[in-house]
Amino acid sequence: MTDKVVVITGGSRGIGRATAIAAAARGFRVVVGYVSNKTAADEVVAEIAASNGKAIAVKCDVAEESDILALFKAADAFGTLGALVNNGGIVGQSGVRVDEMSAERIQRVMAVNVTGSILCAREAVKRMSTKHGGKGGVIVNLSSVAARLGAPNTYVDYAASKGAVDSFTVGLGHEVAGEGIRVAAIRPGLIDTEIHAAGGEPDRAHRLAHMVPMKRVGTADEVANAIVWLMSDDASYVTSAILDVSGGR
């Protein structure tokens, strides 16, 4: 699959980073999308290159359509698009109730987590759909168990955005199933990544680990393994599906 390119948004850290490395190990050329941390993105590219893989880093805020267009233009120059991982996502400050949220916070969360994912998928479908002369491919969206749990008193807006991702996954999957494209989503549970620090609670995952039936947090690698399985031919009959990677939570 050395001619196949995967675009991974939010690919410089956490689940995105682990997915980039795992995809490269399976022969994908990797486009690492990142918002601001160029150093971290370059480190991912260097790690992939050290293992004889191919990767590039492209700055992209998925809340900006122009950035998304530039990201896919870079991917076009790198090879044939075979997969998209919509991993870019944000949370607002944790512990904020809905009656305390600003419009700006809600709009930013939706712009990144929902609109950004849909626009990236739009660009991927244009390239991968047999209707448009493409060779097919896979789109994997990153949801969250928060979509089921609602995240009350924590970040209901984030949970709502991931509920939208779930609906989008099912609908788009049906829309392009006959055009060589499979669409699926992963719903991670409590995973040991930096997103909790971004919400102001760096120890949140470990603090809540007792609520997980497995009694532990998950790792970015465990989520990445599920993502690259969905990207592989081993998942050839899987579409419009949502897989929980949550230790049973």
Pairing of strands 55-59, 80-86: unpaired
Question: Which residue in the list 34, 155, 158, 237 is annotated as catalytic?
Answer: 158
CA distance 175 to 152: 32
Catalytic (active site) residue 34: no
Residues that are catalytic: 158
